[in-house]
Amino acid sequence: MATVDEHPGGDGQAAVSPSTESQDPSGWGAKIHSVRFRVVAAMLGMMLAGLVTAGLVTFVVQFQESDARIDQAVLDKANSVVKIVQTKKKTSGDYANRTYISALHEAAEDIEPRSNEVMAGIVDGRVAWTVEGSGDRDLLDSTMFADAAQLRNPFGVSFGELNSDGRPLRTVVVPMKGAPGTFFLVGRDAGDQEEHNASSVRTYSLVALGMLSAAAVIGGVVAGRLLDPLRRMRETSRAVGPEDLTQRVEVRKGEDDVTLLAKTFNTMLERLDEGAQQQQQFLDDAGHELRTPLTILRGHLELVTVDDPDDVIATRDVLLDEVDRMQRLVDDLLLLANSGDPGFIRREPVRIPEFLDQVMEKVHVLADRNWQIDERADFVVEADPQRLTQALVQLAANAVKYTGQSSTIALGSRIEHPTADDGTSLPPQDTLLLWVRDDGIGIAAEDQERIFERFGRAHTGRGEEGSGLGLAIVSAIAQAHGGQATVESEYGHGATFLIGIPLQSASVRV
Protein backbone atom coordinates (compact mmCIF):
# COMPACT_ATOMS: atom_id res chain seq x y z
CA MET A 1 0.00 0.00 0.00
CA ALA A 2 1.27 3.49 -0.79
CA THR A 3 0.27 6.90 0.50
CA VAL A 4 0.85 10.38 -0.88
CA ASP A 5 3.47 12.38 0.99
CA GLU A 6 2.07 15.82 1.79
CA HIS A 7 5.52 17.42 1.72
CA PRO A 8 6.10 18.95 -1.69
CA GLY A 9 9.12 17.91 -3.67
CA GLY A 10 11.52 20.17 -5.46
CA ASP A 11 9.11 20.57 -8.39
CA GLY A 12 6.10 21.21 -6.20
CA GLN A 13 4.52 17.82 -6.85
CA ALA A 14 3.46 15.34 -4.21
CA ALA A 15 5.79 12.39 -3.79
CA VAL A 16 4.71 8.77 -3.41
CA SER A 17 6.16 7.09 -0.34
CA PRO A 18 5.70 3.76 1.42
CA SER A 19 2.93 3.38 3.94
CA THR A 20 3.12 5.02 7.32
CA GLU A 21 3.69 1.68 8.99
CA SER A 22 6.81 0.98 6.96
CA GLN A 23 8.16 4.47 7.73
CA ASP A 24 7.56 4.21 11.47
CA PRO A 25 11.02 4.87 12.98
CA SER A 26 10.06 2.85 16.05
CA GLY A 27 9.13 -0.29 14.08
CA TRP A 28 11.20 -3.43 14.29
CA GLY A 29 12.13 -3.24 10.63
CA ALA A 30 13.61 0.23 11.08
CA LYS A 31 15.42 -0.83 14.26
CA ILE A 32 16.96 -3.91 12.63
CA HIS A 33 18.22 -1.83 9.69
CA SER A 34 19.42 1.04 11.85
CA VAL A 35 23.11 1.89 12.16
CA ARG A 36 22.89 1.49 15.92
CA PHE A 37 21.61 -2.09 15.63
CA ARG A 38 24.24 -2.98 13.04
CA VAL A 39 27.09 -1.52 15.09
CA VAL A 40 25.99 -3.34 18.25
CA ALA A 41 25.36 -6.57 16.30
CA ALA A 42 28.81 -6.39 14.70
CA MET A 43 30.41 -5.74 18.08
CA LEU A 44 28.55 -8.66 19.69
CA GLY A 45 29.41 -10.90 16.75
CA MET A 46 33.11 -10.14 17.13
CA MET A 47 32.90 -10.64 20.89
CA LEU A 48 31.08 -13.95 20.43
CA ALA A 49 33.66 -15.15 17.92
CA GLY A 50 36.45 -14.14 20.29
CA LEU A 51 34.85 -15.80 23.31
CA VAL A 52 34.13 -19.02 21.41
CA THR A 53 37.65 -19.19 19.99
CA ALA A 54 39.27 -18.42 23.35
CA GLY A 55 37.02 -20.93 25.15
CA LEU A 56 37.60 -23.62 22.56
CA VAL A 57 41.37 -23.28 22.68
CA THR A 58 41.40 -23.03 26.48
CA PHE A 59 39.22 -26.06 27.10
CA VAL A 60 40.92 -28.25 24.49
CA VAL A 61 44.23 -27.53 26.19
CA GLN A 62 42.68 -28.05 29.62
CA PHE A 63 41.11 -31.39 28.66
CA GLN A 64 44.36 -32.60 27.14
CA GLU A 65 46.30 -31.56 30.22
CA SER A 66 43.82 -33.27 32.57
CA ASP A 67 44.06 -36.50 30.54
CA ALA A 68 47.84 -36.18 30.55
CA ARG A 69 47.89 -35.75 34.35
CA ILE A 70 45.72 -38.85 34.83
CA ASP A 71 47.87 -40.82 32.39
CA GLN A 72 51.02 -39.78 34.19
CA ALA A 73 49.53 -40.66 37.59
CA VAL A 74 48.46 -44.18 36.56
CA LEU A 75 51.79 -44.71 34.79
CA ASP A 76 53.72 -43.73 37.92
CA LYS A 77 51.62 -46.11 40.01
CA ALA A 78 52.06 -48.95 37.49
CA ASN A 79 55.82 -48.42 37.31
CA SER A 80 56.10 -48.38 41.09
CA VAL A 81 54.24 -51.70 41.40
CA VAL A 82 56.27 -53.29 38.61
CA LYS A 83 59.49 -52.04 40.19
CA ILE A 84 58.50 -53.48 43.58
CA VAL A 85 57.76 -56.87 42.01
CA GLN A 86 60.97 -56.96 40.02
CA THR A 87 63.00 -55.95 43.08
CA LYS A 88 61.40 -58.60 45.26
CA LYS A 89 61.87 -61.21 42.56
CA LYS A 90 65.56 -60.56 42.79
CA THR A 91 65.97 -60.19 46.54
CA SER A 92 63.25 -62.29 48.15
CA GLY A 93 63.34 -66.08 48.07
CA ASP A 94 59.56 -66.34 48.38
CA TYR A 95 59.08 -64.22 45.24
CA ALA A 96 61.82 -65.92 43.27
CA ASN A 97 59.74 -69.05 42.59
CA ARG A 98 56.50 -67.19 41.82
CA THR A 99 55.31 -66.18 38.40
CA TYR A 100 55.27 -62.52 37.57
CA ILE A 101 51.50 -62.46 37.25
CA SER A 102 51.11 -63.98 40.74
CA ALA A 103 53.59 -61.56 42.24
CA LEU A 104 51.85 -58.64 40.60
CA HIS A 105 48.51 -59.82 41.99
CA GLU A 106 49.84 -59.94 45.53
CA ALA A 107 51.55 -56.57 45.22
CA ALA A 108 48.34 -54.99 43.87
CA GLU A 109 46.34 -56.32 46.81
CA ASP A 110 48.97 -55.04 49.23
CA ILE A 111 48.96 -51.53 47.71
CA GLU A 112 45.15 -51.37 47.66
CA PRO A 113 44.09 -49.14 44.72
CA ARG A 114 42.27 -45.92 45.43
CA SER A 115 38.48 -45.85 45.29
CA ASN A 116 38.51 -44.66 41.67
CA GLU A 117 41.25 -47.04 40.52
CA VAL A 118 41.51 -50.62 39.32
CA MET A 119 44.50 -52.94 38.72
CA ALA A 120 44.59 -56.01 36.53
CA GLY A 121 47.00 -58.61 35.23
CA ILE A 122 46.99 -59.71 31.59
CA VAL A 123 48.55 -62.99 30.54
CA ASP A 124 48.57 -64.38 27.03
CA GLY A 125 45.94 -61.95 25.80
CA ARG A 126 43.38 -62.36 28.61
CA VAL A 127 42.70 -60.69 31.93
CA ALA A 128 43.89 -63.07 34.68
CA TRP A 129 42.76 -61.07 37.75
CA THR A 130 41.50 -57.64 38.83
CA VAL A 131 41.85 -55.66 42.05
CA GLU A 132 39.14 -53.02 42.48
CA GLY A 133 39.51 -50.01 44.73
CA SER A 134 35.75 -49.29 44.85
CA GLY A 135 33.26 -51.52 46.60
CA ASP A 136 30.18 -50.00 44.96
CA ARG A 137 30.79 -51.31 41.47
CA ASP A 138 33.51 -52.87 39.37
CA LEU A 139 35.34 -50.34 37.23
CA LEU A 140 36.63 -53.20 35.08
CA ASP A 141 34.00 -55.97 34.82
CA SER A 142 34.10 -59.13 32.78
CA THR A 143 32.40 -57.50 29.78
CA MET A 144 35.38 -55.22 29.40
CA PHE A 145 38.13 -57.86 29.65
CA ALA A 146 38.46 -58.37 25.93
CA ASP A 147 38.79 -54.63 25.28
CA ALA A 148 41.28 -54.27 28.13
CA ALA A 149 43.43 -57.11 26.78
CA GLN A 150 43.54 -55.40 23.38
CA LEU A 151 45.30 -52.41 24.92
CA ARG A 152 48.56 -54.27 25.49
CA ASN A 153 51.62 -53.42 23.45
CA PRO A 154 54.51 -55.95 23.47
CA PHE A 155 56.99 -53.21 22.57
CA GLY A 156 56.29 -50.75 25.36
CA VAL A 157 53.81 -48.83 27.48
CA SER A 158 50.38 -48.13 25.94
CA PHE A 159 47.63 -45.75 27.04
CA GLY A 160 43.94 -46.06 26.36
CA GLU A 161 40.40 -45.35 27.52
CA LEU A 162 37.59 -47.79 28.27
CA ASN A 163 33.89 -47.16 28.73
CA SER A 164 33.04 -48.17 32.25
CA ASP A 165 29.27 -48.06 32.56
CA GLY A 166 29.14 -44.74 30.72
CA ARG A 167 32.15 -43.26 32.51
CA PRO A 168 35.63 -42.93 31.00
CA LEU A 169 38.30 -45.24 32.43
CA ARG A 170 41.80 -44.01 31.61
CA THR A 171 44.24 -46.93 31.49
CA VAL A 172 47.92 -47.70 31.11
CA VAL A 173 49.32 -51.14 30.25
CA VAL A 174 52.97 -51.87 31.17
CA PRO A 175 54.78 -54.97 29.83
CA MET A 176 56.76 -57.06 32.36
CA LYS A 177 60.42 -57.45 31.48
CA GLY A 178 61.53 -61.04 31.71
CA ALA A 179 57.98 -62.36 31.37
CA PRO A 180 56.85 -62.26 27.73
CA GLY A 181 53.06 -62.10 27.39
CA THR A 182 52.57 -60.69 30.91
CA PHE A 183 51.23 -57.15 31.32
CA PHE A 184 50.17 -54.99 34.24
CA LEU A 185 47.12 -52.68 33.79
CA VAL A 186 46.25 -49.70 35.99
CA GLY A 187 43.02 -47.77 35.32
CA ARG A 188 41.51 -44.67 36.90
CA ASP A 189 37.93 -43.42 36.65
CA ALA A 190 38.08 -40.02 34.86
CA GLY A 191 34.35 -39.33 35.21
CA ASP A 192 34.81 -36.83 38.03
CA GLN A 193 37.42 -34.98 36.05
CA GLU A 194 35.15 -35.01 33.02
CA GLU A 195 32.27 -33.63 35.07
CA HIS A 196 34.58 -30.96 36.44
CA ASN A 197 35.57 -30.03 32.90
CA ALA A 198 31.92 -29.92 31.82
CA SER A 199 31.12 -27.72 34.83
CA SER A 200 33.90 -25.36 33.77
CA VAL A 201 32.43 -25.19 30.27
CA ARG A 202 28.97 -24.40 31.66
CA THR A 203 30.37 -21.72 33.97
CA TYR A 204 32.35 -20.17 31.15
CA SER A 205 29.28 -20.22 28.89
CA LEU A 206 27.13 -18.50 31.52
CA VAL A 207 29.80 -15.88 32.19
CA ALA A 208 30.25 -15.31 28.45
CA LEU A 209 26.48 -14.99 28.00
CA GLY A 210 26.38 -12.46 30.82
CA MET A 211 29.24 -10.52 29.27
CA LEU A 212 27.47 -10.50 25.89
CA SER A 213 24.26 -9.29 27.51
CA ALA A 214 26.06 -6.54 29.40
CA ALA A 215 27.98 -5.58 26.27
CA ALA A 216 24.71 -5.44 24.32
CA VAL A 217 23.17 -3.07 26.86
CA ILE A 218 26.27 -0.90 27.29
CA GLY A 219 27.02 -0.97 23.56
CA GLY A 220 23.45 0.02 22.76
CA VAL A 221 23.64 2.99 25.14
CA VAL A 222 27.10 4.09 23.95
CA ALA A 223 26.21 3.63 20.27
CA GLY A 224 22.97 5.52 20.86
CA ARG A 225 24.86 8.46 22.37
CA LEU A 226 27.50 8.42 19.65
CA LEU A 227 24.92 8.18 16.88
CA ASP A 228 22.49 10.61 18.47
CA PRO A 229 23.70 13.42 16.16
CA LEU A 230 22.68 11.25 13.20
CA ARG A 231 19.19 10.92 14.65
CA ARG A 232 19.00 14.65 15.19
CA MET A 233 20.28 15.19 11.65
CA ARG A 234 17.48 12.98 10.34
CA GLU A 235 14.88 14.88 12.35
CA THR A 236 16.33 18.22 11.29
CA SER A 237 16.37 17.11 7.64
CA ARG A 238 12.67 16.29 7.89
CA ALA A 239 11.93 19.69 9.41
CA VAL A 240 13.94 21.62 6.82
CA GLY A 241 11.91 22.86 3.89
CA PRO A 242 11.96 25.58 1.25
CA GLU A 243 10.18 27.92 3.67
CA ASP A 244 12.28 27.10 6.74
CA LEU A 245 16.05 26.71 6.56
CA THR A 246 16.66 27.90 10.12
CA GLN A 247 16.70 24.42 11.70
CA ARG A 248 20.06 23.27 13.07
CA VAL A 249 21.37 20.07 14.64
CA GLU A 250 22.23 20.40 18.32
CA VAL A 251 25.94 19.58 18.51
CA ARG A 252 27.58 18.40 21.71
CA LYS A 253 31.19 18.90 22.61
CA GLY A 254 33.64 16.49 21.05
CA GLU A 255 35.77 15.89 17.99
CA ASP A 256 34.60 12.40 16.98
CA ASP A 257 33.58 11.68 13.40
CA VAL A 258 29.83 11.82 14.04
CA THR A 259 30.09 15.17 15.87
CA LEU A 260 32.21 16.58 13.05
CA LEU A 261 29.60 15.31 10.57
CA ALA A 262 26.87 17.12 12.52
CA LYS A 263 28.92 20.33 12.47
CA THR A 264 29.47 19.95 8.72
CA PHE A 265 25.73 19.37 8.28
CA ASN A 266 25.00 22.59 10.15
CA THR A 267 27.53 24.42 8.00
CA MET A 268 25.79 23.09 4.91
CA LEU A 269 22.42 24.29 6.24
CA GLU A 270 23.90 27.70 6.97
CA ARG A 271 25.19 27.94 3.42
CA LEU A 272 21.85 26.88 2.02
CA ASP A 273 20.09 29.37 4.27
CA GLU A 274 22.50 32.11 3.29
CA GLY A 275 22.07 31.27 -0.39
CA ALA A 276 18.29 31.25 -0.07
CA GLN A 277 18.38 34.59 1.76
CA GLN A 278 20.63 36.07 -0.91
CA GLN A 279 18.35 34.75 -3.61
CA GLN A 280 15.27 36.13 -1.88
CA GLN A 281 17.01 39.44 -1.22
CA PHE A 282 18.02 39.64 -4.87
CA LEU A 283 14.44 39.00 -5.95
CA ASP A 284 13.12 41.56 -3.47
CA ASP A 285 15.72 44.14 -4.48
CA ALA A 286 15.16 43.59 -8.18
CA GLY A 287 11.40 43.73 -7.80
CA HIS A 288 11.61 46.84 -5.65
CA GLU A 289 14.01 48.80 -7.84
CA LEU A 290 12.81 47.70 -11.28
CA ARG A 291 9.21 48.59 -10.54
CA THR A 292 9.83 52.35 -10.80
CA PRO A 293 11.66 52.36 -14.17
CA LEU A 294 9.13 49.93 -15.60
CA THR A 295 6.32 52.25 -14.49
CA ILE A 296 8.11 55.16 -16.15
CA LEU A 297 8.52 53.17 -19.35
CA ARG A 298 4.88 52.18 -19.41
CA GLY A 299 3.68 55.71 -18.60
CA HIS A 300 5.68 57.32 -21.39
CA LEU A 301 4.64 54.67 -23.88
CA GLU A 302 0.99 55.24 -23.00
CA LEU A 303 1.28 59.03 -23.32
CA VAL A 304 3.45 59.23 -26.41
CA THR A 305 1.84 60.83 -29.47
CA VAL A 306 2.88 58.58 -32.31
CA ASP A 307 2.01 61.20 -34.94
CA ASP A 308 4.32 63.78 -33.35
CA PRO A 309 7.95 63.09 -34.31
CA ASP A 310 9.30 65.44 -31.63
CA ASP A 311 7.29 63.67 -28.95
CA VAL A 312 8.45 60.25 -30.21
CA ILE A 313 12.10 61.37 -30.15
CA ALA A 314 11.77 62.86 -26.67
CA THR A 315 10.03 59.73 -25.40
CA ARG A 316 12.69 57.55 -27.01
CA ASP A 317 15.47 59.47 -25.19
CA VAL A 318 13.65 59.09 -21.88
CA LEU A 319 13.09 55.36 -22.45
CA LEU A 320 16.74 54.74 -23.41
CA ASP A 321 17.87 56.59 -20.30
CA GLU A 322 15.60 54.42 -18.15
CA VAL A 323 16.81 51.25 -19.89
CA ASP A 324 20.41 52.27 -19.19
CA ARG A 325 19.50 52.87 -15.56
CA MET A 326 17.83 49.46 -15.37
CA GLN A 327 20.92 47.87 -16.91
CA ARG A 328 23.20 49.50 -14.33
CA LEU A 329 20.83 48.45 -11.57
CA VAL A 330 20.74 44.82 -12.75
CA ASP A 331 24.55 44.76 -13.04
CA ASP A 332 24.89 46.08 -9.49
CA LEU A 333 22.40 43.56 -8.15
CA LEU A 334 24.20 40.69 -9.88
CA LEU A 335 27.53 41.91 -8.49
CA LEU A 336 26.12 41.96 -4.97
CA ALA A 337 24.50 38.55 -5.44
CA ASN A 338 27.87 37.07 -6.48
CA SER A 339 29.92 38.83 -3.80
CA GLY A 340 29.77 35.76 -1.54
CA ASP A 341 31.23 33.39 -4.15
CA PRO A 342 34.83 32.18 -3.65
CA GLY A 343 35.80 33.47 -7.11
CA PHE A 344 34.47 36.98 -6.51
CA ILE A 345 37.97 38.22 -5.79
CA ARG A 346 41.24 37.05 -7.33
CA ARG A 347 44.20 37.84 -5.12
CA GLU A 348 47.55 38.82 -6.56
CA PRO A 349 50.51 40.89 -5.32
CA VAL A 350 49.56 44.58 -5.35
CA ARG A 351 52.15 47.35 -4.86
CA ILE A 352 50.12 49.93 -2.93
CA PRO A 353 52.01 53.12 -3.99
CA GLU A 354 51.71 52.34 -7.72
CA PHE A 355 48.14 51.11 -7.24
CA LEU A 356 47.09 54.38 -5.57
CA ASP A 357 48.65 56.41 -8.41
CA GLN A 358 46.77 54.33 -10.98
CA VAL A 359 43.47 54.94 -9.20
CA MET A 360 44.19 58.67 -9.05
CA GLU A 361 44.80 58.67 -12.83
CA LYS A 362 41.31 57.26 -13.32
CA VAL A 363 39.32 59.37 -10.88
CA HIS A 364 40.79 62.85 -11.33
CA VAL A 365 38.93 63.20 -14.64
CA LEU A 366 35.54 62.67 -12.97
CA ALA A 367 35.23 66.36 -12.10
CA ASP A 368 37.17 69.56 -11.55
CA ARG A 369 38.23 69.12 -7.93
CA ASN A 370 41.36 69.58 -5.91
CA TRP A 371 42.59 65.96 -6.15
CA GLN A 372 45.46 64.84 -3.92
CA ILE A 373 47.02 61.83 -2.19
CA ASP A 374 47.34 62.09 1.57
CA GLU A 375 49.67 59.16 2.26
CA ARG A 376 51.10 56.08 0.59
CA ALA A 377 51.79 52.74 2.35
CA ASP A 378 55.01 51.22 1.04
CA PHE A 379 53.70 47.66 1.06
CA VAL A 380 52.98 44.81 -1.33
CA VAL A 381 49.75 43.04 -0.33
CA GLU A 382 47.73 40.10 -1.62
CA ALA A 383 44.45 41.55 -2.92
CA ASP A 384 42.25 41.94 -6.00
CA PRO A 385 43.36 45.19 -7.67
CA GLN A 386 40.31 45.38 -9.96
CA ARG A 387 37.79 45.07 -7.11
CA LEU A 388 39.69 47.55 -4.95
CA THR A 389 39.82 49.97 -7.90
CA GLN A 390 36.08 49.54 -8.36
CA ALA A 391 35.48 50.36 -4.68
CA LEU A 392 37.71 53.45 -4.64
CA VAL A 393 36.26 54.76 -7.91
CA GLN A 394 32.78 54.38 -6.44
CA LEU A 395 33.79 56.31 -3.32
CA ALA A 396 35.43 59.00 -5.45
CA ALA A 397 32.31 59.30 -7.63
CA ASN A 398 30.19 59.71 -4.49
CA ALA A 399 32.55 62.40 -3.22
CA VAL A 400 32.22 64.26 -6.53
CA LYS A 401 28.41 64.31 -6.22
CA TYR A 402 28.43 66.05 -2.88
CA THR A 403 31.30 68.54 -3.24
CA GLY A 404 31.81 71.75 -5.19
CA GLN A 405 34.51 72.78 -7.65
CA SER A 406 36.70 74.27 -4.96
CA SER A 407 36.45 71.18 -2.74
CA THR A 408 39.28 68.78 -2.00
CA ILE A 409 39.04 65.04 -2.59
CA ALA A 410 41.98 62.98 -1.32
CA LEU A 411 43.01 59.34 -1.56
CA GLY A 412 45.35 57.64 0.87
CA SER A 413 46.68 54.40 2.33
CA ARG A 414 48.58 53.31 5.41
CA ILE A 415 49.29 50.24 7.52
CA GLU A 416 47.55 50.23 10.86
CA HIS A 417 49.18 48.16 13.59
CA PRO A 418 47.14 46.61 16.44
CA THR A 419 47.50 48.59 19.65
CA ALA A 420 45.93 46.17 22.20
CA ASP A 421 44.95 42.55 22.64
CA ASP A 422 41.41 41.99 21.36
CA GLY A 423 40.82 39.13 23.80
CA THR A 424 40.96 36.35 21.20
CA SER A 425 43.48 33.54 20.79
CA LEU A 426 44.43 34.81 17.32
CA PRO A 427 47.71 36.72 16.95
CA PRO A 428 47.47 40.49 16.35
CA GLN A 429 47.10 41.33 12.64
CA ASP A 430 48.12 44.43 10.72
CA THR A 431 45.49 46.10 8.54
CA LEU A 432 45.78 47.99 5.26
CA LEU A 433 43.61 51.13 5.28
CA LEU A 434 42.52 52.71 1.99
CA TRP A 435 40.43 55.86 2.11
CA VAL A 436 38.72 58.58 0.12
CA ARG A 437 38.34 61.90 1.94
CA ASP A 438 36.29 64.94 1.00
CA ASP A 439 35.34 68.23 2.64
CA GLY A 440 31.70 68.15 1.58
CA ILE A 441 28.57 68.37 3.67
CA GLY A 442 29.27 65.16 5.60
CA ILE A 443 26.90 62.50 6.95
CA ALA A 444 24.78 62.56 10.06
CA ALA A 445 25.74 60.05 12.79
CA GLU A 446 22.39 58.23 12.60
CA ASP A 447 22.90 57.59 8.88
CA GLN A 448 26.47 56.33 8.93
CA GLU A 449 25.59 52.64 9.28
CA ARG A 450 22.48 52.64 7.09
CA ILE A 451 24.26 54.00 4.03
CA PHE A 452 26.22 50.74 3.60
CA GLU A 453 23.01 48.72 3.37
CA ARG A 454 21.38 47.90 0.06
CA PHE A 455 19.25 50.87 -1.08
CA GLY A 456 20.20 52.63 2.12
CA ARG A 457 20.30 56.40 1.85
CA ALA A 458 21.00 59.20 4.25
CA HIS A 459 17.95 61.10 5.39
CA THR A 460 19.63 64.44 4.81
CA GLY A 461 22.44 65.73 2.71
CA ARG A 462 24.21 62.83 0.97
CA GLY A 463 22.61 59.80 -0.62
CA GLU A 464 19.50 61.37 -2.05
CA GLU A 465 20.43 60.40 -5.60
CA GLY A 466 21.29 57.04 -7.15
CA SER A 467 20.06 53.51 -6.51
CA GLY A 468 21.56 53.15 -3.09
CA LEU A 469 23.75 50.21 -4.14
CA GLY A 470 27.13 51.95 -4.55
CA LEU A 471 28.22 51.84 -0.92
CA ALA A 472 26.74 48.35 -0.53
CA ILE A 473 29.07 47.23 -3.33
CA VAL A 474 32.02 48.89 -1.59
CA SER A 475 31.12 47.07 1.64
CA ALA A 476 30.79 43.74 -0.22
CA ILE A 477 34.26 44.16 -1.78
CA ALA A 478 35.78 44.93 1.62
CA GLN A 479 34.08 41.90 3.21
CA ALA A 480 35.25 39.65 0.37
CA HIS A 481 38.82 40.64 1.33
CA GLY A 482 38.09 39.76 4.97
CA GLY A 483 37.73 43.41 6.02
CA GLN A 484 35.04 46.06 6.29
CA ALA A 485 34.05 49.48 5.01
CA THR A 486 33.43 52.33 7.47
CA VAL A 487 32.94 56.07 7.43
CA GLU A 488 34.21 58.84 9.69
CA SER A 489 32.16 62.00 9.36
CA GLU A 490 30.58 64.89 11.17
CA TYR A 491 27.62 66.49 9.46
CA GLY A 492 28.74 69.68 7.77
CA HIS A 493 32.46 68.89 7.99
CA GLY A 494 33.13 66.36 5.23
CA ALA A 495 33.51 62.58 5.31
CA THR A 496 36.25 59.97 5.10
CA PHE A 497 35.32 56.55 3.76
CA LEU A 498 37.75 53.81 4.79
CA ILE A 499 38.31 50.24 3.57
CA GLY A 500 40.17 48.09 6.08
CA ILE A 501 41.78 44.88 4.79
CA PRO A 502 43.66 42.46 7.10
CA LEU A 503 47.12 41.79 5.73
CA GLN A 504 47.92 38.27 4.52
CA SER A 505 51.10 36.50 5.58
CA ALA A 506 52.55 37.14 2.13
CA SER A 507 52.31 40.95 2.53
CA VAL A 508 55.74 42.61 2.70
CA ARG A 509 57.16 46.08 2.91
CA VAL A 510 58.43 47.43 -0.40
Domain range list for the chain: 18-226, 257-337, 347-509
pLDDT at 468: 67
pLDDT at 355: 93
What class, spelled out in words, does domain 347-509 have in CATH? alpha beta
Using CA atoms of 208, 214, 220, 222 in order, give the dihedral in degrees to the nearest 10: -110
Are the CB atoms for 162 and 118 separated by under 8 Å? no
DSSP helix/strand/coil, 5: strand
Numbers of helices and strands, H then E, in the chain: 13, 15
pLDDT at 184: 92
pLDDT at 282: 67
pLDDT at 203: 93
335: which residues sit within 8 A by CB, 6+ positions away?
Answer: 473, 476
> For the whole model, what pTM was predicted?
0.48
Give the mean pLDDT per block of 10 residues along the chain (510 residues).
40 40 51 77 90 92 91 91 84 72 87 88 91 82 89 90 89 89 91 90 93 90 78 75 71 72 79 75 68 76 83 85 78 74 86 92 89 91 90 89 89 83 56 91 76 62 56 88 88 87 66
- Provide the residue type at 10 as one letter: G
Q: Which CATH number applies to 257-337?
A: 1.10.287.130
pLDDT at 496: 92
pLDDT at 16: 38
Is the CA virtual torsion 426, 428, 432, 438 positive or negative? positive
- Measured between its terminal Cα atoms, the distance across the chain in Å is 75
Our CA angle for 355, 359, 363, nearest 5°, is: 170
Using CA atoms of 446, 449, 452, 456 in order, give the dihedral in degrees to the nearest 10: -40
